[in-house]
Amino acid sequence: MFNPGSTQGYQDVTDKIRMKTIVYGAKTLMAEFRLAAGADLPEHRHPHEQTGYLVAGRIDLTIDGRTHAVRPGDSWCIPGDTTHRAYAHEDSIAVEVFAPVREEYLPPNG
């Protein structure tokens, strides 16, 4: 699958957090998250492994009770069923890959 870049297709996840699926296959899904300054993603867990990379901004990422000060160029991998949360100190962009595919993140035409 090839998906050209676009400024279209973002959807609200929570207050101050927007996401769009960039591309997906049979086993993985890649999404871009845009977090506005002050965005607070509550603690949650899901069965998907989540691997990410901070493109821009500054966030605190708490994984299984341990908080990491994340800067551009930093990356992470959160095992499935592990509690995590995020807080954006400034406008931030993260790219994350989920395995297996998160069905709820598939585009409507997907």
Kindly report the CATH number assigned to the domain that includes residue 23: 2.60.120.10
Residue type for position 58: R
- Is 80 exceeded by the pLDDT of residue 108? no
36, part of any domain: yes
Q: What is the mean pLDDT of residues 70-92?
A: 98
53, part of any domain: yes
Q: What is the mean pLDDT of residues 74-91?
A: 98
Provide the phi-psi class of 64: left if phi over 0, else alpha when psi is between -120 and 50, else beta: left
Which residues fall within 8 angstroms of residue 44, CB to CB, at 6 or more apart?
83, 84, 85
Domain count, the chain: 1
Going through the chain in order, the beta strands assigned E by DSSP cover 11-14, 17-24, 29-35, 40-44, 49-63, 66-70, 75-78, 84-99
5, part of any domain: no
Q: Containing domain of residue 23, as a range?
A: 17-103
Q: What is the mean pLDDT of residues 72-89?
A: 98
Write down the pLDDT at residue 1. Answer: 78
Write down the pLDDT at residue 110. Answer: 54
Query: What tokens were used for 48?
Result: 């998907």
2, part of any domain: no
8, part of any domain: no
CA angle 15, 17, 22 (to 5 degrees): 150
pTM: 0.93
pLDDT one-digit tens code per residue, 20-66 = 999 999 999 999 999 999 999 999 999 999 999 999 999 999 999 99
Q: What is the mean pLDDT of residues 78-100?
A: 98
Name the residue with higher pLDDT: 54 or 4. Answer: 54
CA-CA distance, 52 to 47, in Å (whole number)?
Answer: 16
Considering the chain, what is the average pLDDT of its residues?
95
